[in-house]
Structure 1
Amino acid sequence: MHPLPTESRVRAIVRMLAFAGFVSMAGCASTQPAGTPAEKRWLVTGSLLYVAPDRPPLANAWLLVNGDKIEAVGTGSPPAVGSGSAQACNGGVIAAGFQNSHVHFTDDSFANAATRAPKELEQSLARMLTRFGYTTVVDTGSQLANTTALRQRIASGAVLGPEILTAGSPLYPHNGIPFYLRQLQPEILRRLAQPATVEEASVQVRRNLADGANGTKLFVAAPVGQGEIRRMNPQIASAAADETHRLGGLVMVHPTDPDGVRSAVAAGADIIVHTTIDPAGSSWDAPLIAGMVARKVSVVPTLKLWRYELDKEQVPAEVREKIVGLAERQLKAYIDAGGQVLFGTDVGYMTDFDPAEEYSLMARAGMTPMQILASLTTGPAARWRKEALRGRLETGMSADLVVLNGDPAADVKRFADVKCTFGAGRLLFQREGF
């Protein structure tokens, strides 16, 4: 194996970890989502319906929605509900709405979210998220005020889009701004939190959550150049995690390397937001994985991201696949030990929004189609303590659902082949031609 030189490879792998609130990404063409169903009660029918990943699918099924809730689910002849049914979305494979647990609202098209025209925001949301079935997303680093403004407009009904959870502004090690951020303007760099004391970390956490964050993102390890990784003081990391938990939030950690994963687990992390491919030959040993599982630490694999970064650096395909294989083996060992996986792609940093490859890589790492479905639905719902509201298609649950064009049990790439997306009973996306 011939990995990239240390500095170049670090730059290739961790550039995406820049504090996304200050980074702009180019947009691409989008499909504009449709409006809401015409009536309060409406019906969608499907060839198959997945109530939950741990239950067999229902054939020749239907689902009745009343307002923002599921009124009934059944098979055979559907009830009559009049002309307001979702006729255009009939005939596919129905599942609970998906959650992408690693996104960034960093594209210029999301700027000025408080005042931007609703249709412009909806086009951007469809391009990146709702056309792939996401009804809930977790923003793991952005400009908090802008993201909360976008969230509020979606919640109010002014903009059609997914439910947004956000970590707001990350915390970095003291004097640990990653080298790839040093080109930012001085006034921006001064705003990046680098707590030097336990109290500074606690204050920053309280400020973020008071301003609308749902949790805290910690960089427990940051590459600062010349091969050096600056690490967050363990007491500071633990204090930030403790304060986050006291306030009811979750702790998300970017680890950089296996030692960073160990630090995250020790600090009390709830979610590790990446697998790791640094240093060369990186692996998660059995004691580390056992500790993660025992402490119920979830993992967002982001496997496609590594290919994306290495391709940008023009790493030869055979070398790239060996490097990506490190992350796949970490994921396999983790799921074999009973760990909880949360699906996530790092879109918003990554401008290739299509998740089909991520699904394929997860399957190659050993995940079954139903384990992948769980990572999209019941897993994140439970992780965010929302299992009573979403993640399954049952009476009384939120009417968050996705209609696929084929059965993902036969081909996991079908998870990305979305016909329609509904959030809280509203049609967020409908593919053209249906």
Structure 2
Amino acid sequence: MSAIAKIAAAVLAVACALSGQAMAKPLAIVNTEIYPSPNAPQIRDGVVLVQDGKIVKVGTRSEVSVPKGARVIDAHGAVLTAGFWNSHVHIMPSDLMGAKTAKAAALEGGLQAMLTRWGFTTVFDLGSSTDNTLALRERIASGELAGPMILTCGDPFFPEGGTPIYVRQYLADHGWANEEVTTPKEAADRAVRQLNRGTDAVKIFAGAIVGGDIGVLPMRLDIAKVVVAEAHKRGKPAFAHPSNYAGINVAIDSGVDILAHTTATEDGSHDPYGWTPALIARIRAHHMALTPTMTLFEWESQKIHQNPEILAQTIKLITSEVKDFSAAGGEILFGTDVGYTDAYDTTEEYRLMSGALDWRQILVALTTAPASRFGYAAHKGRIAPGMDADLVLLDGDPASDPTAFARVRDTIRGGQVIWGTDR
């Protein structure tokens, strides 16, 4: 070999080493039923070919040839969809804390139990320790941990005197700073600090549940407006925890983009059978989306041993709100509030959602709607050439049973199986 050839070979070797996945084998998922997107026709006996973290070919077995040497996943009997988004989680469980120094195995186990086990390749954290969540995200992004892409609001904003009753002990136990904001300047300054550090949104408690005679404490509108404005200056969204009609009004009037929950709190100001058409029209006029978090209401009911009849009425109420909002053209984003709750299994959320939405609408909430809402439609949410290879293999067909969305065989992010049978 000539000196020039040796140098060229050495340069090529270094380039390959530095390029990471550039020399990775292609991945072929074969013998699967594919839902490329919520409204696209199903591909039977399908093949998806992945290279360097991207989808390169999608089609039937007769249309897509599998390269020699590719890693092949035979997905016989499974259904393939785009990777799921959970647009309402909290990086709060104990096994995800101390993310700067905790052992990788412990953190990854926590991510699997709460998120990747259920098909989530992208999540939006709606309130946690900014320091901890950014550290966790960095370790995932570096490749040290196998986990979802994490978007985060960082620390939430509570009204003065409005730390929610149900997180007070948690915050004290973990030594968190006071999250309440008392003036517009204080609120704006903190929003700037968090957003400048790399958070992806803000989260206000437009209606904070404090209990006692007050019940739900609304945030001052001037404070809510400045927090939302700081996010919008940077082209980033604002979420709101509404709790009741008063909280929804604060969210609307401050320019919030996403309601983090539907509402079930009776305050004498709204229709006991759900959101009124007038309220839905106001929400729609402001282009707001909704994460229903329907299982949350069951979970809270079980904590306080609520009368089953009252729970049934609550479920009927929130189901009607989700159904009516969607029917009016409102955008639904899948979200569970997991991390605050320990209801990791998503089966019940799909069961409850199916009372208001059909399976394709649920798939929209899991894939294309959040990808579009949060600016990732060009890369995520569909199975098509050029898209990120974020995929979910399901042991069941959600077209016949929406709870099949919870029966995850493999969670694949960037062409790597990060959880499942074929990892």
Common fold: TM-score over 0.5: yes
Looking at structure 1, the residues matched to 361 and 105 of structure 2 have their Cα atoms a distance apart, in angstroms, of: 35
Structure 1 match to 2:116: 130
Q: 1:60 aligns with which of 39, 42, 45?
A: 45
Structure 2 match to 1:428: 418
Residue by residue over 1:281-321, the C-alpha shift from the partner in whole angstroms, topping out at 9 and shown as x without a partner, is: 37321121111112210100011110111122222322211
Structure 1 match to 2:403: 413
Looking at structure 2, the residues matched to 410 and 97 of structure 1 have their Cα atoms a distance apart, in angstroms, of: 20
- Does the 8 A contact of 2:293 with 2:336 survive in 1? yes
Looking at structure 2, the residues matched to 396 and 232 of structure 1 have their Cα atoms a distance apart, in angstroms, of: 44
Structure 2 match to 1:258: 245
Structure 1 match to 2:60: 75
Deviation at residue 131 of structure 1 after TM alignment = 1.2
Alignment map for 1:74-93 (pairs within 5 Å): 74-77=59-62, 78-87=64-73, 89=75, 91-93=77-79
For residue 71 of structure 1, give the secondary structure of its aligned residue in structure 2: strand
Q: Assess, with a 3 A threshold, how the Cα gap between structure 1 residues 136 and 186 changes in structure 2: closer, same or farther.
A: closer
The answer on 1:312 being equivalent to 2:303 is: yes
Structure 2 match to 1:339: 330
Deviation at residue 108 of structure 1 after TM alignment = 1.2
Q: 1:375 aligns with which of 365, 384, 389?
A: 365
Structure 2 match to 1:47: 32
Deviation at residue 225 of structure 1 after TM alignment = 3.1
- Does the 8 A contact of 1:182 with 1:189 survive in 2? no
Looking at structure 1, the residues matched to 71 and 107 of structure 2 have their Cα atoms a distance apart, in angstroms, of: 26
Deviation at residue 208 of structure 1 after TM alignment = 1.0
Q: Assess, with a 3 A threshold, how the Cα gap between structure 1 residues 378 and 175 changes in structure 2: closer, same or farther.
A: same
What is the TM-score normalised by the length of structure 1?
0.87
1:47 alignment partner AA:
T
What is the TM-score normalised by the length of structure 2?
0.89
Q: 2:384 aligns with which of 394, 400, 411?
A: 394
For residue 114 of structure 1, give the secondary structure of its aligned residue in structure 2: coil
Alignment map for 1:273-288 (pairs within 5 Å): 273-279=260-266, 281=272, 283-288=274-279
Q: Assess, with a 3 A threshold, how the Cα gap between structure 1 residues 237 and 189 changes in structure 2: closer, same or farther.
A: farther
Looking at structure 1, the residues matched to 296 and 173 of structure 2 have their Cα atoms a distance apart, in angstroms, of: 30
Looking at structure 2, the residues matched to 91 and 277 of structure 1 have their Cα atoms a distance apart, in angstroms, of: 40
Looking at structure 1, the residues matched to 86 and 170 of structure 2 have their Cα atoms a distance apart, in angstroms, of: 28
Deviation at residue 184 of structure 1 after TM alignment = 6.5
Range 292-301 or range 276-285, more displaced: 276-285
Range 142-151 or range 169-178, more displaced: 169-178
For residue 402 of structure 1, give the secondary structure of its aligned residue in structure 2: strand
Q: Assess, with a 3 A threshold, how the Cα gap between structure 1 residues 187 and 45 changes in structure 2: closer, same or farther.
A: closer
Deviation at residue 188 of structure 1 after TM alignment = 7.4
The answer on 1:173 being equivalent to 2:163 is: no
For residue 335 of structure 2, give the secondary structure of its aligned residue in structure 1: coil
Residue by residue over 1:380-431, the C-alpha shift from the partner in whole angstroms, topping out at 9 and shown as x without a partner, is: 0011011001000011000000011111011001000111110111111113
Looking at structure 2, the residues matched to 126 and 370 of structure 1 have their Cα atoms a distance apart, in angstroms, of: 26
1:405 alignment partner AA:
D
For residue 71 of structure 2, give the secondary structure of its aligned residue in structure 1: coil
Residue by residue over 1:141-175, the C-alpha shift from the partner in whole angstroms, topping out at 9 and shown as x without a partner, is: 11111111111111111110000001110111123
- Does the 8 A contact of 1:145 with 1:211 survive in 2? no
Range 383-392 or range 290-299, more displaced: 290-299
For residue 364 of structure 1, give the secondary structure of its aligned residue in structure 2: coil
For residue 87 of structure 1, give the secondary structure of its aligned residue in structure 2: strand
Residue by residue over 1:211-248, the C-alpha shift from the partner in whole angstroms, topping out at 9 and shown as x without a partner, is: 22111010012233323132211111111111111022
- Does the 8 A contact of 2:242 with 2:251 survive in 1? yes
Let me know the Cα RMSD of the aligned residues: 2.1
Structure 2 match to 1:121: 107
Q: Assess, with a 3 A threshold, how the Cα gap between structure 1 residues 132 and 222 changes in structure 2: closer, same or farther.
A: same
Deviation at residue 81 of structure 1 after TM alignment = 2.1
For residue 80 of structure 2, give the secondary structure of its aligned residue in structure 1: strand
Looking at structure 2, the residues matched to 68 and 149 of structure 1 have their Cα atoms a distance apart, in angstroms, of: 23
Alignment map for 1:222-371 (pairs within 5 Å): 222-228=208-214, 229-279=216-266, 281=272, 283-365=274-356, 367-371=357-361
Looking at structure 2, the residues matched to 226 and 125 of structure 1 have their Cα atoms a distance apart, in angstroms, of: 36
- Does the 8 A contact of 1:258 with 1:282 survive in 2? no
Question: Greater relative contact order (Cα 8 A, min sep 6): structure 1 or 2?
Answer: 1
Looking at structure 2, the residues matched to 423 and 197 of structure 1 have their Cα atoms a distance apart, in angstroms, of: 42
Deviation at residue 71 of structure 1 after TM alignment = 0.6
Could you list the runs of 5+ residues in structure 2 that have no partner in the other structure? Answer: 1-20
Q: Assess, with a 3 A threshold, how the Cα gap between structure 1 residues 81 and 292 changes in structure 2: closer, same or farther.
A: same
Looking at structure 2, the residues matched to 225 and 103 of structure 1 have their Cα atoms a distance apart, in angstroms, of: 23
Q: Assess, with a 3 A threshold, how the Cα gap between structure 1 residues 246 and 394 changes in structure 2: closer, same or farther.
A: same
Q: How many residues align?
A: 397
Looking at structure 1, the residues matched to 340 and 147 of structure 2 have their Cα atoms a distance apart, in angstroms, of: 19
**Rg (Cα) greater in structure:** 2
Looking at structure 2, the residues matched to 422 and 189 of structure 1 have their Cα atoms a distance apart, in angstroms, of: 36
Looking at structure 2, the residues matched to 141 and 44 of structure 1 have their Cα atoms a distance apart, in angstroms, of: 36
- Does the 8 A contact of 2:28 with 2:50 survive in 1? yes
Deviation at residue 185 of structure 1 after TM alignment = 7.4
Deviation at residue 258 of structure 1 after TM alignment = 1.7
Looking at structure 2, the residues matched to 45 and 172 of structure 1 have their Cα atoms a distance apart, in angstroms, of: 49
Deviation at residue 190 of structure 1 after TM alignment = 8.0
For residue 53 of structure 1, give the secondary structure of its aligned residue in structure 2: coil
Deviation at residue 37 of structure 1 after TM alignment = 13
1:273 alignment partner AA:
A
The answer on 1:152 being equivalent to 2:143 is: no
Looking at structure 2, the residues matched to 108 and 193 of structure 1 have their Cα atoms a distance apart, in angstroms, of: 19
Residue by residue over 1:250-302, the C-alpha shift from the partner in whole angstroms, topping out at 9 and shown as x without a partner, is: 10100011221121011111110111110163732112111111221010001
- Does the 8 A contact of 1:262 with 1:288 survive in 2? no
Could you list the runs of 5+ residues in structure 1 that have no partner in the other structure? Answer: 1-35
